[in-house]
Every structure is written in structure tokens, then in C-alpha cells.
Amino acid sequence: MSFILHIQRFTCSNCNNAWNSSNFYEVVTTGITNLKPSTVTPPPGTAFGITRLPPRPVPVCYACAEDLATLRTLQRQALESEWAATLRRKQEQQLELAKTELRGGSGSGAQTSHRTYAPSIDEL
Ligand SMILES: [Zn+2]
């Protein structure tokens, strides 16, 4: 019966927080060697080793995850609000255009143009 402790350093790419973490395993050999997560302290007389794994970056960590989630929610809401305002403004412009065309087309013949093309994104 033998055990091994894996120690690894993590660094958060978002907030630069760094911490060490460890996982403890029992080494089980039944033809091939497997590591089985263990919760027991190695009994006296058993082999016990330590392995330091290469440092590992993580994109977001426990220290900054909630702040980042709140920030992303606010950003998404701001974008949705901007988009809704754009749609509202376009709708109002089309309504004004329709009113103008109705007034112009009532016999005076002053303005009877109809849009014959799809507006580009710059015209919106
Ligand atoms: Zn972080």
C-alpha cells in the first residue's frame, strides 16, 4: 500500500491570485497503476511520496468569479438596452417616413418615392 500527494500551483489570469492545491491518492496497482482519491492518512509503515506538478493558469478563480459574473451581466444588459433603443429609433423613423409619404402622395405629387433597395448597415 502506498500513497502520493500531488501539489500544484494555480494562477488566475483574470486577477493574478495564486494559490497551491493538493490532491491525495492511494496508489492502486492491479496489473496497471491507478491513482485512487483517498481521504485516509497514510498508515504507519506505508510508502508516501510527493509530486509537484507544473504550475497551471486558470482563466477565472474563486476570488474573482462573482465580480466577473456581475460585470458580464451588466455588460450584457447594457448591450440589450442599446439594441432595444436602436430598434425603437428605427421603428420611429419608419413611422415618420410612412407619414411623410402619405402626406406627399395625397394628390400634390410632390413626394412619391418608394425605397427600392435594402438599406445598408451604415444607413440604419
Ligand atoms: Zn481570479
**Span from the CA of 31 to the centroid of ligand 1 (angstroms):** 41
**Span from the CA of 63 to the centroid of ligand 1 (angstroms):** 5
**Span from the CA of 67 to the centroid of ligand 1 (angstroms):** 9
pLDDT of residue 117: 74
pLDDT of residue 122: 79
Q: What angle do CA 15, 61, 77 make, to 5 degrees?
A: 80
**Domain span including residue 69:** 64-104
pLDDT of residue 105: 58
Nearest to 25 by CA among 39, 43, 45: 39
The helix (H) or strand (E) run that includes residue 9 is strand 2-12
**Span from the CA of 54 to the centroid of ligand 1 (angstroms):** 19
pTM (whole model) above 0.95: no
**Span from the CA of 55 to the centroid of ligand 1 (angstroms):** 15
Using pLDDT thresholds of 50, 70 and 90, give the confidence band for residue 123.
confident
What is d(CA 48, CA 64) in angstroms, rounded to the nearest whole number? 35
Is a pLDDT exceeding 90 seen at residue 15?
Answer: yes
pLDDT of residue 112: 53
Are 17 and 52 part of one and the same domain? yes
Percent of the chain scoring above 90 in pLDDT: 75
Q: Is residue 124 part of a domain?
A: no
Are 6 and 53 part of one and the same domain? yes
Per-residue pLDDT, averaged over 49-76, amounts to 97
**Span from the CA of 38 to the centroid of ligand 1 (angstroms):** 28
pLDDT in tens, 16-37: 999 999 999 999 998 899 999 9
Are 86 and 52 part of one and the same domain? no
What is d(CA 37, CA 45) in angstroms, rounded to the nearest whole number? 20
pLDDT in tens, 91-110: 999 999 998 888 875 554 45
Q: Is residue 89 part of a domain?
A: yes
Is a pLDDT exceeding 90 seen at residue 73?
Answer: yes
Are 89 and 51 part of one and the same domain? no
